[in-house]
């Protein structure tokens, strides 16, 4: 089947809705959610698709997002927020497209489904009460943080009226209250320390693996294959770092043989 632009936009919008509802973890979507979107595609346009087809289509858009992110960092490029366009001066554009013709569709023109790609692929983890641990089942929100202890209002419009003569001054009682307040502060600081440790652990776990800087060009410049097939192979190599590095190190003829073999088994 061939994905039509309106179908792609529909799928990406549905994935954004799933993310907003907090069902995705740092490892991606579960098959049940892919099946749900596949069913919604059929209800929307009558085209039967499988969860695998939805997954592979998302991989294609992930590869496009990687390419767009790379192009946004081009020297001399500016970003038009209103049109979601990567803008190059005419002379710079002509020279770049001459060397990289596949980049033309992303330069000096609105990028299709940019906001949806950004929402799906730029952040891997939800936050707040919808955040998930890597070992937790999908769709099980973490419990809310425990409530903080009551804090006395020291100043402001809600400050209670002072009653200086209600009780005689007692130095011992004052020390006891101060000790209690310090214990509450210690409890709060301990809770904050644990929360900071959890955040640091999450950041370390979701740190992306570096990919070879020449991988994109090594894959996408191969002739004799469709863009979609090359995008699928690129996505696989991005997910498998060792294979990606090995692919870049291959001779050009060996790259063609590898692509034919891999695409014949996994794509066509």
- pLDDT tens digits, one per residue of 24-62: 655 567 888 899 999 999 999 889 999 999 999 999 999
DSSP 209: P
Query: CB neighbours (10 Å) of residue 29?
Result: 21
- Tokens at residue 194, please? 């644990």
Give which of 146, 194, 137, 115 is closest to 22, Cα–Cα: 137
Give me the pLDDT at residue 12, please: 93
CA quadruple 138, 140, 141, 144: dihedral, nearest 10? -150
- Tokens at residue 107, please? 């330069």
Give me the pLDDT at residue 24, please: 61
Q: Which residues contact 1 (CB under 8 A, 6 or more apart)?
A: 47, 49, 53
Low-confidence stretches of the chain (pLDDT < 70) are 24-28, 123-211, 268
> To which residue do tokens 């995705």 refer?
24
Cα 189 to Cα 54: distance, rounded to the nearest angstrom = 46
Give me the pLDDT at residue 202, please: 58
Contact between residue 67 and residue 106 where contact means Cβ atoms under 8 Å apart: yes
Give me the pLDDT at residue 226, please: 82
SS3 25: strand
Give me the pLDDT at residue 232, please: 83
Cα 179 to Cα 38: distance, rounded to the nearest angstrom = 61
């Amino acid at each position: 089947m061939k994905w039509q632009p309106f179908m792609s936009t529909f799928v990406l919008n549905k994935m954004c809705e799933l993310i907003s509802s907090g069902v995705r973890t740092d490892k991606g979507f579960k098959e049940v959610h892919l099946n749900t979107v596949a069913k919604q595609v059929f209800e929307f346009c009558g085209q039967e698709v499988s969860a695998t087809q939805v997954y592979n289509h998302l991989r294609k858009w992930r590869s496009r997002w990687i390419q767009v992110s790379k192009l946004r960092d081009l020297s001399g490029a500016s970003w038009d927020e209103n049109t979601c366009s990567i803008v190059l001066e005419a002379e710079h554009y002509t020279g770049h497209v001459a060397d990289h013709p596949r980049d033309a569709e992303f330069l000096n023109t609105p990028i299709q489904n940019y906001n949806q790609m950004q929402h799906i692929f730029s952040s891997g983890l939800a936050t707040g009460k919808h955040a998930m641990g890597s070992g937790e089942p999908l769709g099980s929100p973490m419990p809310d943080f425990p409530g903080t202890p009551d804090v006395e209002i020291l100043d402001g419009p809600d400050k209670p009226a002072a009653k200086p003569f209600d009780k005689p001054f007692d130095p011992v009682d004052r020390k006891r209250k101060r000790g209690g307040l310090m214990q509450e502060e210690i409890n709060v600081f301990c809770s904050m320390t644990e929360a900071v440790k959890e955040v640091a652990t999450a950041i370390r776990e979701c740190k992306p693996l570096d990919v070879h800087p020449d991988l994109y060009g090594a894959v996408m410049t191969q002739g004799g294959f469709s863009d979609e097939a090359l995008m699928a192979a690129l996505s696989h190599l991005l997910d498998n770092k060792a294979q990606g590095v090995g692919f870049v190190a291959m001779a050009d003829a060996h790259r063609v043989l590898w692509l034919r073999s891999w695409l014949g088994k996994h794509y066509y």
